[in-house]
């Protein structure tokens, strides 16, 4: 590209041989009397008519400022490019031949690309106030200085707007030059970051006639997207809206977003405002944001006295002059000289008639450029300071909506805070630092005078409903089947599709078309192929999402999980003679024996003193404890409980026994009625290595998977069409004209096993996939329906439809799971804990009562033997033997003994204590 541009320079240079040579300046002077800068723009353009007085005013203000360039006059040489890249290049070379230290402009990005090579060679800073092509910031153009905002940021703002309104595809209409191509490339990159894209790029030739524009817009209007981004030149951009209005494209349902060229047209007032507003009603337009400041207000007061025309570009042009002035001031203050020298490369061409030696190198141009890049002052457009990427700091844009007779600000965008409803300078620090400030912009009046947000997309069927291909199944009709209703089809897949369509924010007209001959299940791969060929606009049904199909079409989010699994015949294993022991584990049986005896012993302890049924010889009492313990299992115990603590423990224990009995009965019933199913096929590997026949469903992708992925010979494969065919083939077996196993998708297998309980699945699902709806490539409906399917899953409607259509009714699909597990101690430890705590509490209360009675009884006996008439005094009841003997006494005897008093009236102590009333005490 560099050699081509240099050739263009030579061609331009040959057109002038005026021999213009800039007068030499005294290299010894640090403060020259005059410093010349150039200005390059189109005088009669929308931007040029506003820029010219701005530059003149800026030069006058600089020369009137005593603190800047004292003793040196700043002068400007202006050249008219006449809206021509060729003429602009010539004018640029003429300016450079006049020994200017900097050039303001050009306003055209195309001209900037060409003359940037010239200023690179001559070391003259090129400061543009209007060239916004992002590619000009590349390292290829080190002397190019952009004193305005780059379209890189403007396209980021447009992408944020598109994402905010949830549009996914846009059509870019742009002028096919460096300015248009660079901006649209930046737009595509910005949209890709937000998962959006440009669906079509409509290129307009520079200076295109209205008929050409209409032809291009007619092509655009036949496409699905209704969101248009217009990036054209200010001087001819209104022709696009004029053509769009004549084609009816400025009506309801359309979205038009214009870059800042349109705000420049409106602000300049070159065209009649009513005419512009009439053409652009409902359009969103960007304008470079310029914050209010005292400097700006003072400038605008002067500006309004000069002209009523203006835009943000005239402020940048004004600041560009001050940028050069500040840089030159610092340049001169450091003692640098304004000197020029001949370019050796051009001097070698002296024999040529082009007189290229008139172009001279600015010797200290690199130092002046350094001062430009390091500038830092407040201008009328805001802070004039550059980032490391050579862009102005704080890029921001106003988002305007054209309605009625004026513009209305609906929001702002800045590089630091994203979209916002308030100006960036008024945002809080937290909001300014956020790059994802999802706020709602103010209300918009869209084309057609509607406030409802356009969906940004329409069907390109010219009013015809979408043709939806539906497989005409002959089996497993729960998923999709022919129907006599208005749609002609019904089933689980059809209901999911209709429910998802109803959730879309726009209406979709559909016509279901059956695919298949009705004699056997159709080929789903052929159905998908029809969608990719646009024979069908979509396909709805039990369509598996597999790799080969995703290369042809786009699928929605799966609405049901799927995958291949093996179904095989099973044989019944009879129950054995010891099946009655299986309900409980061995550990559980041992614990039950222990806890039954423990509870019996506790009840015996609690009842022994007060219940005659729990007294007698030791052997009889042991038999009573054992009998009572195990008879409670059947609630057949004959012994009555008379103590409160005994009844409390027995009540808790009988509740536990009731639960244990119920659990045993339920588990034993399950073991005796549910039979265990096994199969000779161990898994996929054993099936592949065998030579047995394998069945598959007609039309399913499983056949190709078995042949292509598992390398199974086609001679082993048997096509089956219905569940009855499945059952018959599995019953016959591989050697008798049937199959050893069937490989099919999980949803089909679940329905099959719910009706045929003699078979079981072997192993796990060995492919992971799902069923979805197929759409042509890049169809926006696929993504919108995926979101709708997720919404159905989250709100539970998808599961309800699944249960309505696919719930088994005859037997469980999980019939091969084997027998129920034996119940272990972990299933009852909480129950045993409650019983243990009840027994412990009862025993604690019982022995506390015993100790209290024993203490009172011991004291009374001691008082009896203290009488003078007692000859033999027994020892104190303090031994364990005496305590045990006391515990063994009847409760009634103890109470009677405690009622007697040693010296009480009306009661006499027996002369000889009874053995039942008084324990034998040791000496």
Predicted confidence (pLDDT) per residue in 489-502, tens digit: 999 999 999 999 99
Q: Report the pLDDT value the prediction gives residue 909, as an integer from 0 to 100.
A: 43
Q: What is the C-alpha separation between 635 and 787, in angstroms, rounded?
A: 61
> Among 220-229, 692-701, 881-890, whose mean pLDDT is lowest?
881-890
Q: Report the pLDDT value the prediction gives residue 683, as an integer from 0 to 100.
A: 82
What is the mean pLDDT of the segment spanning 474-501?
93
Sign of CA dihedral 622, 623, 627, 630: positive
523 closest CA partner among 699, 720, 697? 699
Which class for 353: exposed (0-12), middle (13-18), buried (19 or more C-beta within 10 A)?
A: exposed
Q: Tell me: pLDDT of 319 over 50.
A: yes
Q: Report the pLDDT value the prediction gives residue 122, as an integer from 0 to 100.
A: 94
Give the CA count within 13 Å in the CB-facing half-sphere of 798.
18
What is the mean pLDDT of the segment spanning 822-846?
83
Q: Report the pLDDT value the prediction gives residue 574, as an integer from 0 to 100.
A: 58
Q: Tell me: pLDDT of 10 over 70.
A: no
Q: What is the C-alpha separation between 269 and 250, in angstroms, rounded?
A: 22
**E-strand stretches of 176-244:** 197-204, 227-231
> Among 370-379, 387-396, 617-626, whose mean pLDDT is lowest?
617-626
Contacts for 139 with CB less than 8 Å, ≥ 6 apart: none
230 closest CA partner among 252, 253, 263? 263
Q: What is the C-alpha separation between 824 and 660, in angstroms, rounded?
A: 11
Q: Could you tell me which residue, 608 or 320, shows the higher pLDDT?
A: 320
Q: Tell me: pLDDT of 853 over 90.
A: no
Q: Report the pLDDT value the prediction gives residue 869, as an integer from 0 to 100.
A: 44
Which class for 686: exposed (0-12), middle (13-18), buried (19 or more C-beta within 10 A)?
A: middle
Q: How confident is the model at residue 831 (pLDDT cuts 50, 70, 90)?
A: confident
Q: Could you tell me which residue, 362 or 818, shows the higher pLDDT?
A: 362
Which class for 888: exposed (0-12), middle (13-18), buried (19 or more C-beta within 10 A)?
A: exposed
Q: Tell me: pLDDT of 135 over 70.
A: yes
What is the mean pLDDT of the segment spanning 324-346?
90
What is the mean pLDDT of the segment spanning 503-509?
82
pLDDT tens-digit readout, 725-764: 999 999 888 878 899 999 999 999 999 988 888 888 888 8
260 closest CA partner among 174, 179, 189, 154? 154
Q: Report the pLDDT value the prediction gives residue 284, as an integer from 0 to 100.
A: 97
Q: What is the C-alpha separation between 189 and 459, in angstroms, rounded?
A: 26
The gap from C-alpha 878 to its chain's centroid, in whole angstroms, comes to 81
Q: Tell me: pLDDT of 2 over 50.
A: no
Q: How confident is the model at residue 126 (pLDDT cuts 50, 70, 90)?
A: very high
Q: How confident is the model at residue 861 (pLDDT cuts 50, 70, 90)?
A: low
Q: How confident is the model at residue 505 (pLDDT cuts 50, 70, 90)?
A: confident
Q: How confident is the model at residue 823 (pLDDT cuts 50, 70, 90)?
A: confident
Q: Report the pLDDT value the prediction gives residue 175, as an integer from 0 to 100.
A: 96
Q: Report the pLDDT value the prediction gives residue 816, as an integer from 0 to 100.
A: 43
pLDDT tens-digit readout, 283-301: 999 999 998 888 888 888 8
Where residue 394 falls (left for φ over 0; alpha for ψ -120 to 50; beta otherwise) is: left
Integer CA distances (angstroms), 711 to 439, 705, 706, 718, in order: 56, 9, 6, 15
CA max distance for the chain: 164
Contacts for 265 with CB less than 8 Å, ≥ 6 apart: 46, 234, 237, 238, 271, 276
Q: How confident is the model at residue 879 (pLDDT cuts 50, 70, 90)?
A: low
């Amino acid at each position: 590209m560099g050699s081509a541009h240099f050739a263009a320079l030579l061609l331009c240079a040959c057109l002038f041989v005026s021999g213009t040579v800039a007068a030499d300046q005294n290299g010894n002077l640090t403060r020259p009397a005059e410093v010349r800068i150039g200005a390059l723009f189109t005088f009669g353009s929308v931007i040029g008519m506003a820029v010219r007085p701005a530059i003149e005013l800026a030069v006058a203000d600089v020369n009137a400022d005593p603190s800047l360039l004292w003793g040196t006059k700043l002068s400007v040489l202006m050249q008219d490019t006449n809206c021509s890249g060729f003429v602009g290049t010539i004018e640029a070379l003429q300016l450079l031949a006049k020994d200017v230290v900097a050039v303001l402009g050009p306003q055209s990005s195309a001209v900037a690309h060409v003359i940037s090579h010239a200023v690179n060679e001559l070391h003259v800073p090129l400061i543009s106030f209007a060239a916004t092509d992002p590619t000009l910031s590349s390292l290829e153009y080190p002397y190019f200085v952009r004193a305005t905002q780059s379209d890189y940021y403007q396209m980021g703002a447009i992408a944020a707007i598109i994402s905010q309104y949830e549009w996914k595809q846009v059509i870019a209409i742009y002028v096919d030059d460096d300015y248009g191509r660079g901006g649209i490339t930046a737009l595509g990159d910005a949209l890709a970051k937000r998962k959006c894209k440009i669906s079509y790029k409509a290129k307009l030739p520079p200076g295109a006639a209205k008929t050409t524009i209409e032809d291009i817009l007619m092509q655009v209007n036949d496409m699905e997207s209704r969101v248009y981004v217009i990036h054209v030149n200010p001087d001819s951009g209104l022709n696009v809206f004029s053509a769009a209005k004549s084609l009816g494209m400025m009506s309801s349902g359309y979205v038009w977003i214009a870059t800042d060229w349109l705000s420049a047209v409106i602000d300049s007032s070159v065209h009649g405002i009513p005419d512009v507003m009439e053409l652009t009603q409902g359009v969103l337009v960007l304008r470079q944001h310029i914050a209010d400041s005292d400097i700006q207000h003072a400038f605008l007061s002067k500006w309004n006295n000069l002209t009523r025309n203006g835009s943000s570009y005239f402020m940048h042009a004004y600041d560009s002059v001050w940028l050069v002035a500040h840089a030159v001031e610092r340049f001169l203050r450091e003692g640098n000289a304004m000197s020029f020298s001949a370019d050796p490369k051009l001097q070698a061409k002296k024999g040529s008639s082009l007189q290229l030696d008139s172009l001279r190198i600015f010797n200290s141009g690199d130092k002046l450029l350094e001062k430009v890049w390091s500038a830092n002052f407040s201008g009328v457009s805001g802070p004039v300071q550059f980032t490391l990427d050579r862009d102005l700091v704080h890029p921001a844009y106003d988002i305007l909506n054209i309605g009625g007779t004026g513009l209305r600000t609906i929001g702002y965008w800045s590089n630091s805070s994203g979209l916002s409803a308030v100006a960036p300078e008024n945002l809080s620090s937290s909001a300014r630092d956020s790059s994802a400030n999802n706020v709602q912009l103010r209300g918009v009046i869209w084309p057609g005078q509607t406030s409802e947000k356009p969906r940004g997309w329409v069907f390109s069927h010219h009013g015809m409903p979408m043709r939806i291909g539906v497989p005409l199944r002959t089996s497993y009709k729960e998923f999709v089947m022919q129907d006599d209703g208005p749609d002609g089809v019904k089933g689980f897949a059809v209901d999911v599709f209709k429910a998802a369509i109803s959730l879309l924010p726009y209406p979709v007209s559909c016509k279901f078309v059956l695919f298949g001959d009705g004699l056997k299940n159709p080929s789903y791969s052929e159905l998908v192929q029809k969608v990719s060929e646009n024979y069908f606009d979509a396909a709805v049904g039990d369509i598996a999402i597999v790799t080969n199909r995703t290369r042809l079409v786009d699928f929605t989010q799966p609405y049901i999980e799927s995958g291949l699994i093996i179904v095989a015949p099973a044989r019944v294993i009879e129950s054995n003679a010891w099946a009655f022991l299986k309900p409980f584990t061995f550990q559980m049986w041992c614990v039950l024996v222990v806890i039954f005896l423990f509870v019996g012993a506790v009840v015996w302890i609690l009842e022994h003193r007060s219940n005659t049924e729990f007294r007698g010889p030791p052997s009889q009492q042991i038999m009573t404890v054992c009998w009572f313990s195990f008879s409670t299992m059947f609630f057949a115990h004959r012994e009555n409980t008379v103590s409160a603590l005994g009844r409390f423990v027995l009540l808790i224990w009988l509740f536990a026994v009731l639960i244990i009995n119920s659990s045993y009965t339920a588990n034993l019933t399950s073991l005796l009625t549910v039979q265990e199913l096994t199969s000779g096929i161990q898994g996929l590997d054993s099936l592949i290595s065998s030579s047995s026949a394998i069945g598959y469903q007609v039309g399913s992708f499983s056949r190709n998977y078995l042949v292509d992925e598992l390398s199974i010979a086609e001679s082993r494969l048997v096509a089956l069409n219905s569940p009855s065919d499945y059952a018959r083939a599995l019953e016959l077996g591989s050697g008798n004209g049937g199959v050893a196993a069937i490989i099919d998708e999980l949803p089909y297998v679940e329905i099959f096993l719910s009706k045929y309980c003699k078979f079981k699945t072997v192993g796990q699902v060995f492919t992971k996939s799902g069923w979805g709806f197929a759409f042509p490539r890049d169809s926006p409906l696929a993504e919108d329906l995926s979101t709708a399917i997720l919404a159905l899953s989250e709100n539970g409607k998808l599961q309800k439809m699944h249960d309505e259509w696919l719930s088994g009714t005859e037997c469980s699909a999980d019939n091969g799971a084997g027998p129920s597990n034996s119940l272990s101690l972990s299933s009852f430890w909480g129950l045993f804990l409650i019983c243990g705590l009840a027994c412990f509490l009862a025993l604690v209360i019982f022995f506390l009562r015993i100790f209290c009675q024993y203490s009172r009884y011991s004291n009374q006996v001691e008082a009896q033997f203290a009488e003078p008439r007692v000859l033999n005094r027994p020892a104190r009841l303090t031994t364990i033997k005496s305590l045990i003997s006391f515990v063994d006494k009847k409760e009634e005897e103890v109470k009677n003994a405690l009622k007697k008093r040693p010296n009480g009236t009306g009661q006499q102590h027996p002369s000889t204590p009874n053995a039942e009333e008084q324990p034998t005490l040791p000496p």
